Each structure stands twice: as structure tokens, then as C-alpha cells.
Amino acid sequence: MVGDSCCGYSYLCNMVSKTTKLDIRQQSIDQLESFFSERGEKAFRGRQVFQWLWEKSADDFQSMTNLSEKHRKLLGDHFSINPVRLDQSQFSSDHTIKSQFRLHDGHLIEGVLIPTANRMTACVSSQVGCSLSCKFCATGYMDRARNLDAAEIYDQVVQIGAQAQQYYQQPLTNIVYMGMGEPLLNYKNMLQSVEHITSKQGLGMSAKRITVSTAGIAKMIRKLGDDQVKFNLALSLHAANDLKRNQIMPINERNSLQALEQALNYYYRATGNEITFEYIVFYNFNDTLDDAKELLTFSRKVPSKVNLIEYNPIEEANFINTKEDRLQRFAAFLEQKRVKVTVRYSRGKDIDAACGQLANRS
């Protein structure tokens, strides 16, 4: 397909049938400049188009008003834009908004706007479905159809950001890659989407406002370190011994806690970024003081903080959220040991928008 080099671009275009157009958002700025210059046009037109796509979020060529009609037709003859379209939205009693988005090939994904007093957070998906089969997660019971491309992740941020402005008159402040799918199994597109969201030639958001959550793929965590990423990393832990974690997260059978510990420390040494451990607290499974002691031990192996998360029931699983007194005792134990702990209560449960509930249900 299209390589990094601009050489041979005309040959590539000639190989594309008249009925098949290249997705323009798969093109680099250099490729767009070459497209114009090879046709006797000014190369800077490519920069203008790139700005329209990623800074101004244009989803059609006619909106590119500083290009002539001739240039817009030229683009339309050779390229397509495949934007994510809002299919439907649901509104929670706690003001959370869950949206179902339709992709150009008909697949559906979900994203969530989570408003609080001082934050507007977009929760975005990275795959259609998921292949990891975590036992407590509705998405894990779906098949993985495909990865999202960078533009499809970017579009969720733009659409959810528009909802924040429309309904709450506030811009997005945070983005979490905690929707459908495993971001580190869509590594290249995930990184490219972050680049478009954070770049001065894109949306210009701070990478420190972005958190990517993983179920725990050791070799890809190491790659995050090699790439010295600037965003935050969260690990969905949920049990701090291998036996229990294997029961609820099959990925742990190939990525043990020891392997994750080594990978996380490698990542921390490379980036200096503290890790967040996400820990859903299930009743009579991982909510005893012995479980808290195991979490304490593991959390001390890498600079970290802990989010204790309320469980959100799904039809496919029989897990139960822990009782409030057990949750508070669990949190108090960790706090006494000077672990940085936050208890996260669910948002959007009444519309299946909470953590672990996304499964294209309306």
C-alpha cells in the first residue's frame, strides 16, 4: 500500500481503479504535497488540506473553503473521506452520554462523554469488539471484527467533544482509551490517533490529559517505553495474584504478573510516567484484606497509584459488586500503607455506559 516515500505516487494512483479512491486521511502531509506538485499545483495546497483534515476536522472536501472548486474536485476525484457518523445517543440520569457511532463499512462502536464538576472526559474505543475475553466485560463477549484506524479514533474525540460543547458548554479536558477493544493490540493506529489529537497540526490537546488503558500485554508495554510516549498508562489489574487473574483475564496466562512487573518498570525507566492500576472490586472474589495485601505488594514493585472501581453488572457474567463496607475497609488498608488510592464510582450505569458495559446495546 502507500509507503513513507513519495516516490512512485503517480504509479500508485494509476494502479487504483476508477471506482476505488484512497482514504485521504491515510496520507501523510508529504504525500499530499506530492499529490499537488505532481499535477502542476502548488505543494502548499497539501498542507492546507492536512490542516482542514486534522486541525479543523473537515469531513468533506466542499468545506475546504480556501481551496478553489477545481482543487476540491481534484481531491474528490482521487480521494474519499470516511468519517465516523453519530448513529444514536443515550442520556444517563447522571448526565453521562453514551453514543453509538457507525463506521463507513457499517460496523458499530460506542464512546462515552463523562461530565463532572471539573472535567469533561471522552472515553473512546480502539477496536470493533475485542479478542481478549475478559470475563467481567461485555465487550469481551463480542468477536473482534477489526481494528479502528487512527482517523476513526480521532473522530470519536471530535464528536464527543462537540457533545460537551452542545450540552455542557465546556471543551473536552481528558481522553481515556477505555472503550471497546485493547489499544495495545492496535498499537500503530492508537499512536497515530494520539499524534493527531495532540499535535499543533491537529487538535492540540496535552498528552498528559490522555490515558491509555491496557489489559496487560508485556511486550507492547515495553514498546511504549521504547517510543517514550508522553500520555498516561493504566493497567487493568483486578487481581494481584496469577491464579485469580487467570480466572477473569485469560491474557494473564501469557502475560504473568511477573512479566508485567518487568515490563512496567522498563516503561517507567524510559518515560518517568507513574502507572495507574485499575482494580474492579468484586464481592467475595478479590475484596478481602488478603487481596488488599497482595495489591499492596504488587503496587510497590513499580511507581504507581491505584483506582478502586465499582463493578458494573452485565448479563453474561455472575460477578457482584462488593459491599460498601468491604470497599471502604479495602481502601482504608491501602491508604494506611501510604498507597495513593482513589475510589471510582460508576457513571452511566442506567444506559450501559459504565466501565465494562459497552457492547452496542441501546
Regions of the chain with pLDDT less than 70: 1-19, 347-362
Backbone angles phi and psi of 261, in degrees to 5: -55, -45
Residue 262's Cβ-side half-sphere holds a number of Cα atoms within 13 Å equal to 6
Identify residue 88 by its one-letter amino acid code: Q
Predicted pLDDT of residue 355 = 58
Predicted pLDDT of residue 197 = 98
Give domain 85-351's CATH superfamily. Aldolase class I (3.20.20.70)
pLDDT in tens, 288-339: 999 999 999 999 999 999 999 988 887 777 899 999 999 999 999 999 999 9
Q: In whole angstroms, what is the distance from residue 279 CA to residue 263 CA? A: 19
Active site residues: 110, 355
Q: Return all residues near 294 (Cβ < 8 A) that are at least 6 apart.
A: 239, 240, 241
Contact call for residues 148 and 105 (beta carbons, < 8 A): no
Predicted pLDDT of residue 111 = 95
Predicted pLDDT of residue 173 = 98
Predicted pLDDT of residue 9 = 41
Domain boundaries, the chain: 9-80, 85-351
For domain 9-80, which architecture applies? Orthogonal Bundle (1.10)
Predicted pLDDT of residue 351 = 56
Query: Do 9-80 and 85-351 have matching folds?
Result: no
Predicted pLDDT of residue 193 = 98
Predicted pLDDT of residue 18 = 40
Rounded to a whole number of angstroms, the distance between the first and last alpha carbons of the chain is 37
